Chain A
Amino acid sequence: MTGTQAEATTVEEAGKALPPKLFVSISPHFKATETVSKIMWTVVACLIPPLVLSVFVFGFQTLIIALVSVVSCVATEAISNRCLKRPVGTIKDGSAVITGLLLAYIIPPGVPYWMPILGGVMAIYVTKVLMGGIGYNMFNPALIGRAFLVATYPVAMTSAWLPPIRDAAVFKYMGAGVDAVSTATPLYILKHYGIAEVIERFGSLSVIYRDFFFGWRPGCIAETSALVLIIGGLYLIYKKYITWHTPVSVIASVAFFTWIFGGEKFFTGNPLLAVLSGGVIIGAFFMATDYVTSPTQVTGKLIFGAGIGALTVLIRLKGGYPEGVCYAILLMNPLTPALDRWFKPKRFAPQPEEGA
Chain B
Amino acid sequence: MSAETLSTFPMGGIHPKESKELTEKLTAEVVPTPSQIRLFLKQHVGAPCKPQVKKKDKVTEGDVVASVEKLGANLHSGVSGTVKGVVNALHPMVGNARALVIATDPEANPKTYSPVDWTKFSREELIAKIKDAGVVGLGGAGFPAGFKLDVRPDVKIDTLILNGAECEPYLTSDHRVMLEHPKDIIEGAKIMLKILGIDYCAIGIENNKPDAIQILNRAIAEDTLRNGYKIVVKPLKVRYPQGSADQIMQAVTGRARPSGVRSSVIGIILQNVYTTKAVYDAVALGKPLYERIVTITGKGIKRPANVMVKVGTSIAEIVDYLGGTTPDLAKVIVGGPMMGFAVSTLDIPITKTTSGVLFLTKDEINTEPHLPCVSCGFCVDVCPMGLEPNNVSRYVEAGRGADTEEFGVDDCFLCGSCAYVCPAKRPLVQFMTMAKNSIRESKKK
A→B interface (CB under 8 Å): 11, 14, 17-19, 21-32, 34-36, 38-39, 93, 132-136, 241, 291-292, 294, 296-297, 336, 340, 344-352
Contacts and interface: CB of A to CB of B under 8 A. Distances in A.
Contact of B429 (A26, A34, A38, A297): A26
B47 interface: no
B324 A29 contact: no
B158 interface: no
Q: Return the 7 tightest CB-CB contacts between A and B, nearest first.
A: A296-B377, A28-B416, A135-B372, A347-B386, A349-B259, A24-B342, A350-B258
A29 B358 contact: yes
A136 B422 CA distance: 17
B115 interface: no
Nearest to A25: B342
Contacts of A296: 375-377, 380, 390
Given A22-B343, A24-B343, A32 B420 contact: yes
Interface string B238-264: 000000001000100000111100000
24 contacts: A17-B327, A18-B329, A22-B330, A22-B344, A26-B433, A27-B414, A27-B416, A27-B429, A28-B416, A28-B420, A30-B169, A30-B366, A30-B420, A31-B366, A31-B422, A134-B372, A135-B375, A345-B11, A348-B411, A349-B246, A350-B256, A350-B258, A350-B259, A351-B258
A348 B374 contact: no
A345 B378 CA distance: 12
Interface core residue of A24, A39, A348 (most chain B CB under 10 Å): A348
Interface stretch (B117-125, B196-204, B215-223, B333-341): B333-341
B290 to A, nearest CB: 28
A77 to B, nearest CB: 14
A348 B386 contact: yes
Given A17-B327, A36-B423, A23 B386 contact: no
B11 A346 contact: yes
Contact of A28 (B9, B338, B364): B338
What is the predominant secondary structure among interface residues of chain B facing chain A? loop
A23 B333 CA distance: 10
A349 B411 contact: yes
B159 interface: no
Given A29-B340, A38-B423, 14 more contacts: A17-B325, A22-B342, A26-B427, A26-B429, A26-B430, A27-B337, A27-B339, A31-B422, A36-B424, A136-B372, A296-B376, A345-B11, A347-B259, A349-B386
A352 B425 contact: no
B387 A345 contact: yes
A29 B343 contact: no
Nearest to A19: B329
B376 A291 contact: yes
A38 B386 CA distance: 26
B5 interface: no
Interface residues of B, number: 72
A187 to B, nearest CB: 31
B81 interface: no
B412 to A, nearest CB: 11
A356 B425 CA distance: 39
A34 B386 CA distance: 22
A31 B331 contact: no
Contacts of B14: 32
A276 B379 CA distance: 34
A241 B378 CA distance: 9
A23 B246 contact: no
B441 interface: no
A321 B374 CA distance: 32
Contact of A30 (B12, B16, B341, B374): B16
Contacts of B327: 17, 19
Contacts of A133: 372
A17 B324 contact: yes
Interface string B321-359: 000110111111101011111111110000000000010
Given A17-B325, A22-B344, A135-B375, A349 B257 contact: yes
Interface string B101-145: 000000000000000000000000000000000000000000000
A14 B319 CA distance: 10
A19 B325 CA distance: 10
Contacts of A36: 371, 374, 423-424
Given A34-B423, A134-B374, A349 B11 contact: no
Nearest to B258: A350
